[in-house]
A and B are shown apart, each in its own frame.
Chain A
Amino acid sequence: MTETRAISLVVNGQPRGATVEMRTTLVDFLREELRLTGTHVGCEQGVCGACTVLVDGEPVRGCLLLAVQADGTRVETVEGLAPDLEHLTPLQAEFVRHHGVQCGFCTGGILMSLTASLRDNPRPTEAEIRNTLAGHLCRCTGYQGMVDAVLALAAGAEPAP
């Protein structure tokens, strides 16, 4: 007995459809079915943040959402940020400049959380940046490079209207 349902959603601007098992989480659907492996699974509990994607513009834990719950939504993952390796977004470019990445496992989720919060607040303070990052665990970097990357981005950004 496998209960499945057909879902359709927009992922990184592309309409996608699939038939999924009810119990499949969104992150497993993105990774296995759509082969968008830039989002990772770190704890299945909602604490580490590696699975964070944007659903209708808001950051959510992909491990705590069923794929069927994303039916009809607009999902954004890390793969949708830059068009290709040669054209990184300003946020990604600052991450490179400030060494905000080491193993890269947590990076996708972090970029999505930052993308959402920077849309609301393009010039965050250090405290605000650390607040956004509070929902993410990284065991490699100590976070300082990421914080510096966002501060550099903010310094060059226009204030919010």
Chain B
Amino acid sequence: MKPPRFSYHDPATVEEALGLLAAHGDAARVLAGGQSLMPMLNFRLARPGHVIDVNRVAALATVSPGPDRGLRIGALVRQRTLERSPLIRERCPMIGQAMPFVGHPQIRTRGTLGGSLAHADPAAELPAVMVALGARLTLRSARGQRTVAAEDFFVTALTTALAPDELLTEVALPPWPARTGSSVQEVAIRLGDFALGGVAAALTLDAQGRVAGARVVCFGVGPRPLRAADAERSLLGGAPSAAALAEAGRLASAAVDPSDDIHASGAYRRRLAGVLTTRALAASLATAAARAA
């Protein structure tokens, strides 16, 4: 199909964009990479009166070091850049691990970090990665600015904490702890399509090789990325043995309650959460020791 009519705006600055959002709010959609919004426009599933194209807002497209070896990634940073940026690879390896699962090369040319997060598809990888990383998202509007933890940003399927007049401008990532390894595991019917289920995980070891930190975030198994807190807690302070990882997997499996759909049973997704948790933790462990401070 062809898109419906809309008023088109292409602001050059964040302030302009915020002004437009203030003016049009509910009747506006932000157009970033377009890989999610354009299909909706093409199918007339979205009929915004106003499309606010933020691709000219260069201020949103930067990758810069954050405080204490953290990272700040602008919302408009392309997924292709997430794949290739040396700074991101160095300071946040989990992002690069997720990228092979995100669409296809041609999608990643235009798709953005902010776009994927704002779209909040339950089976998408980047939202889960941000939750696993403890990212903080900056939301700006004409009324001001606030930061929201990634965990609180994703409300339910395709729904975030963004108010109609707010724009996601930046994602701040904390420094990557020493002796931390990570992994993203996913099963999809076709690699690059939305996950039947996936896990983003990270393990931090202390000097004695015990687990000092653990993150397990399941995606594709519920309406939003889910931190398997019980699974994380079960690992802390202990040796990351095969039994411990298997137990964490069981706990992650117990924490999710996915429903059936045409592609997969809820039972499968529940099992998958456990399997992929254990695998992701094992893969994280394999690289944790190598990542000294």
Contacts and interface: CB of A to CB of B under 8 A. Distances in A.
B191 interface: yes
> Range of interface residues on chain B?
20 to 34
Interface stretch (B69-77, B100-108, B155-163): B100-108
B5 interface: yes
Interface in A76-114: 113
A61 B110 contact: yes
Interface stretch (B34-42, B128-136, B225-233): B34-42
A122 interface: no
Given A45-B39, A61-B35, A52 B55 contact: no
A131 B42 contact: no
Most buried by A among B39, B43, B55, B104: B104
B192 interface: yes
Contacts of A1: 5
Contacts of B80: 58
A5 B31 CA distance: 17
Interface in A34-72: 44-46, 49, 52, 58-61, 63-66, 68-69
Interface in B5-49: 5-8, 10, 31, 34-35, 38-39, 41-43
B263 interface: no
A108 to B, nearest CB: 13
Contacts of A59: 105-106, 109
Contact of A3 (B5, B39, B191): B5
B238 interface: no
B8 A134 contact: no
Please report whether the interface of chain B is mostly helix, strand, loop or mixed according to DSSP. loop
A25 interface: yes
Given A44-B42, A45-B42, A25 B106 contact: no
Interface of B: 1-8, 10, 31, 34-35, 38-39, 41-43, 51, 53, 55, 80, 103-107, 109-110, 191-192
Given A60-B110, A134-B192, 19 more contacts: A2-B5, A22-B6, A23-B2, A23-B8, A25-B2, A28-B2, A44-B1, A45-B39, A46-B39, A46-B107, A49-B104, A49-B106, A61-B107, A63-B42, A64-B35, A64-B42, A65-B110, A113-B105, A117-B105
Cβ-closest 10 pairs across A and B: A135-B104, A22-B8, A64-B38, A44-B42, A23-B3, A135-B106, A45-B39, A58-B109, A59-B106, A64-B34
16 contacts: A1-B5, A22-B51, A23-B5, A23-B6, A59-B105, A60-B106, A60-B110, A61-B106, A61-B107, A61-B110, A64-B34, A64-B39, A68-B53, A113-B105, A132-B105, A135-B104
